[in-house]
A and B are shown apart, each in its own frame.
Chain A
Amino acid sequence: MQQSRRQFLAAAAASSAAALSGCLEGPGTGGAVTTSGVETVDGPTPPAADNDLHIPYEFAELRSNVVSGGVPKDGIPSIDDPQFKDADDAEIPGGDPVFGVVRDGEAKAYPQDVLVHHEIVNDELAGDAVAVTYCPLTGTVQGFERGDVEFGVSGRLLNANLVMYDRSTDSRWPQMLATAIDGPLEGQTLREFRLVWTTWGSWRRAHPDTQLLTSGTDYLRDYDDDPYGSYNPQRGYYASDDYLFEPLAEDDRDTAKSVVLGARTGEEAVAFDKSVLLNERVLECEGTSTPFVAVADRSLATGFVYENPDERDVTSADDGYRVDGEVHEPDDLPLDRVLAWDAMWFAWAGYYPDTAYVG
């Protein structure tokens, strides 16, 4: 049975975390903040990453491609007072998708069927203020450090992707780019962290003590109904090759809704077809300025991407991956891990038409 509709009403009154490579600034908690290329602003700002990310477009061009998603600002309300319950109290089907994260031993899972109605959860994770964000149209879930700032849904889309706004400066942040393209913080890149897109059954097996976000929000929604279709079983928008909103660029190296594990650094982007990765276990990309290697974690049906500048030999073993003769867990190879997350291919290729692709 689906999560009970009643559960979302109960409060009606009421990993593998991987930091982006590079040094990170602390949060701006007030007063003037100056970052390279970013205006000086008063008030709190979200923590900025030192390193910019590869964005193969001018901001002006991106701004000119922002379109209305058909809803007003906050018409899709973020969850600002999230409620959780223990795994033992959860009643959602094991095959339903959840987005999981572990920080300092604290495991949390965010069900897709709740996030599809809210897209952003302003939460705390092991004492840190974070925003867990999900865009159903691009199939992307990304975590951001938010400092003293909340994020909301602007109602606008870029490349079919959620454009967030921060409630301090109203700067506009396309989710996948993790960088403000408009407003006082234009040019600032957010600190990101990894959420794993997996199923509730897999996540619970890996983290029996996990907490699960409930549908107990102060908004009334039919959480049994995903307006775009379903992942369990897969149908509707998620199973169709049709776009709803036109991407910035089209690329036929993979089908539109194929899921890729995408990673980007300051210089380039790379995408690994997820189903191929889960089948092959190890995929290498050597056509980039820095070689990358991706390994699968079949227990969670996900993968991890590493820079492999010395092209060290990575092979699959029964209990992990062998690097220079030693076996390691998929999320713990002795290489520099790059933040990577699931995305629909059309959305990844739209933002990164110069991306390397392995599939």
Chain B
Amino acid sequence: MSGETSRSPAAASRVTSLVRRTALAVRGALGRRDGSAVFALTTVGYLAVYLSGIGFLNANDGETAFVVVSDPLARATELMAPYQYEPIALLAAGPVELLFSPVNTLLGLGLGALVGANLAVSWVAYRSPAACGLGSTASAAAGVPALLSGFACCGPTLLIVLGLQATAGLVAAFQWLVPLSVALLVATLLWVGNRVDPAGHSQ
């Protein structure tokens, strides 16, 4: 009994330490020009790929338009598919057409920020000689979980492309890919963040 009660504070302390070190690593990476550039480019790039993957960002044929649905507040929370919400507005200009859904945009930004933080920390660690124990392979692997959410957004289309037959299990699995991606991205961020020397970032 006494052993169990003493393990809980120790575990909590380790988690706190893990999060603190990771936060320091992220702050350190974003404090550098190259780190913040990697973060910003990855976040925006991921958002664009995500919205394109779910069919909300498309090529435009040159027409200009701005349309809002009749009840945007109610529509914004209507679910089209797991973690995919109805668009409330269309913006078309130049080469781009955007079906705007606030929830999808926030979701894409959140996932993009997680991928961006992973890659920014990995990039800075890779570029900094003082950083310890983080090879280029590990750096690249840090962004892999993000691909899972890409699978989630494309759903049946992806099955057609891959020529796969859907099963009840596979369809059910698609519904878990976004939360799984978030969990894996957080896990890799904690893993990467704890293998770099925060002091090294400033060098």
Contacts and interface: CB of A to CB of B under 8 A. Distances in A.
A1 to B, nearest CB: 8
Considering residues A12, A69, A74, which has the most beta carbons from chain B within 10 angstroms of its beta carbon? Answer: A12
Contacts of B155: 70
Contact of B160 (A6, A12, A240): A240
Contacts of A218: 69-70
A242 B87 contact: no
A71 B87 contact: no
Interface string A233-248: 0001100101111100
Given A5-B61, A5-B97, A220 B171 contact: no
B189 interface: no
Contacts of B159: 244
A67 B55 CA distance: 24
A67 B168 contact: yes
A219 B69 contact: yes
A229 B157 CA distance: 9
Contacts of B172: 68
B63 A242 contact: no
Contact of B81 (A70, A236, A237): A70
Interface in B80-96: 80-82, 86-90, 92
A54 B68 CA distance: 47
Contacts of B81: 70-72, 75
B25 interface: no
B6 interface: no
B11 to A, nearest CB: 38
Given A227-B157, A244-B165, A75 B65 contact: no
Contacts of B65: 5-6, 9
Contacts of A6: 63, 65, 92
B80 A12 contact: no
B200 interface: no
Nearest to B81: A71
Interface in A11-46: 12-14
Given A72-B79, A75-B81, A13 B174 contact: no
B166 A245 contact: yes
A222 B97 contact: yes
A219 B76 CA distance: 11
B55 A222 contact: yes
A243 B163 CA distance: 8
A67 B169 CA distance: 10
Interface in A190-220: 218-220
Contacts of A5: 61, 63, 65, 92, 97
Contacts of B102: none
Contacts of B160: 228-229, 236-237, 240, 242, 244
Q: How big is the B interface, by class?
A: 35 or more
A4 interface: yes
Interface in A225-265: 225, 227-229, 236-237, 240, 242-246
Contacts of B69: 12-13, 218-220
Interface in B41-100: 55, 58, 61, 63, 65, 67-70, 78-82, 86-90, 92, 97, 99
A71 B155 CA distance: 10
Contact of A245 (B80, B87, B90, B165): B165
Contacts of A221: 99
Contacts of B88: 220
A20 B150 CA distance: 46
Interface string B124-167: 00000000000000000000000000000001110110011111
Contacts of B55: 222, 225, 227
A245 B157 CA distance: 13
A75 B165 contact: no
B80 A240 contact: no
A242 B165 contact: yes
Nearest to B58: A222
A89 B133 CA distance: 67
A220 B156 contact: no
A228 B157 CA distance: 7
A12 B165 contact: no
A14 B69 CA distance: 8
10 contacts: A5-B61, A5-B97, A6-B92, A68-B168, A70-B82, A220-B90, A220-B99, A228-B157, A240-B160, A242-B163
A-B pairs with lowest CB-CB distance, top 10: A9-B67, A220-B87, A13-B70, A12-B67, A67-B168, A70-B171, A71-B81, A242-B163, A75-B80, A237-B160
Given A68-B168, A75-B81, A242-B165, 15 more contacts: A4-B63, A14-B70, A71-B81, A72-B81, A74-B78, A220-B88, A221-B99, A222-B55, A229-B160, A240-B160, A244-B159, A244-B165, A245-B165, A245-B166, A246-B167
Interface of B: 55, 58, 61, 63, 65, 67-70, 78-82, 86-90, 92, 97, 99, 155-157, 159-160, 163-168, 171-172, 174-175
